[in-house]
């Protein structure tokens, strides 16, 4: 997030939605933000070294993906998928940190996260469609319009549920998990009911609140199913 703020500082200055962010508002200087990124990146790689060799060797790649996301909206409309990938490496990364190996279980979860994040980020990006068109930034709403973008977002969340079903099956989870997964599917459906091409006013509820509930239900489902 800090690197994104540093890289987008000029864009954020002219966007009415982001001009109050830390660098445009003068709360933090660009050099301070960059120093923060460099220091924490070094800490991240150092900590990975003390976990295991695989985590250490992959840590620069993880950083490249996470920091590289910020560049993609400058040349591709599918940057939402890259953001999904940036967050999706967390489950697999955690598995590698603990076990020092790859596995299919976290990989299925990571695939689900890619499409979940991309789906709600597309909703978020609908608010900036006019600004993206003026500044030449790329996004799915700009490329396909609001109606097309919301349709792609909905399809992404259907794919998310598919991968979460596979994850539960491969991980050997039972009925508690799948009950929670049913609730997650319902919440994602509500998300797409309340945000429409003619009314984007509920984007905050859809983007922040409902997706926060989704992550909480997933955690509870896995935890309770594992316990019982």
For 180-202, write each residue's pLDDT tens digit. Answer: 999 999 999 999 999 999 999 99
Q: In terms of C-beta density within 10 A (0-12 exposed, 13-18 middle, 19 or more buried), how is residue 180 classed?
A: buried
CB 122 within 8 A of CB 166: no
Orientation angle between helical segments 104-125 and 175-194, nearest 10 degrees? 20
Residue-level pLDDT at 35:
98
- Ranges of the chain whose pLDDT falls below 50: none
Show the tokens assigned to 85: 């990938």
Share of the chain residues as helix, strand and coil, in percent rounded to the nearest 5: 80, 0, 20
Domain boundaries, the chain: 51-227
**Gap between the terminal Cα atoms of the chain:** 37
Residue-level pLDDT at 70:
92
Four-way CATH pick for 51-227: 1.20.120.1780, 1.20.1250.20, 1.10.3720.10, 1.25.40.10: 1.20.120.1780
Helix (H, G, I), strand (E, B) or coil at 177: helix
Cα gap 16→187, rounded to integer Å: 30
CB 157 within 8 A of CB 188: yes
Residue-level pLDDT at 17:
87
């Amino acid at each position: 997030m800090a690197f994104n703020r540093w890289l987008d500082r000029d864009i954020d200055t002219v966007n009415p939605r982001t001009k109050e962010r830390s660098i445009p508002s003068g709360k933090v200087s660009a050099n301070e933000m960059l120093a923060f990124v460099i220091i924490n990146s070094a800490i991240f790689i150092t900590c990975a070294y003390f976990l295991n060799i695989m985590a250490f060797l992959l840590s620069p790649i993880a950083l490249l993906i996470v920091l590289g996301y910020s560049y993609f909206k400058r040349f591709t409309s599918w940057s939402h998928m890259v953001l999904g990938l940036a967050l999706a490496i967390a489950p697999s990364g955690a598995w590698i940190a603990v076990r020092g190996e790859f596995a299919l279980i976290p990989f299925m979860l990571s695939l689900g996260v890619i499409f979940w994040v991309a789906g709600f980020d597309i909703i978020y990006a609908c608010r900036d469609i006019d600004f993206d068109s003026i500044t030449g930034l790329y996004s799915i709403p700009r490329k396909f319009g609001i109606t097309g973008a919301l349709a792609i977002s909905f399809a992404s969340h259907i794919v998310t549920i598919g991968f979460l079903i596979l994850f539960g099956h491969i991980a050997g989870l039972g009925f508690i998990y799948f009950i929670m997964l049913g609730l997650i599917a319902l919440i994602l459906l509500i998300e797409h009911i309340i945000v429409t091409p003619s009314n984007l006013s509920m984007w905050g509820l859809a983007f922040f609140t409902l997706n926060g509930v989704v992550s909480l239900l997933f955690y509870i489902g896995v935890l309770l199913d594992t316990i019982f």
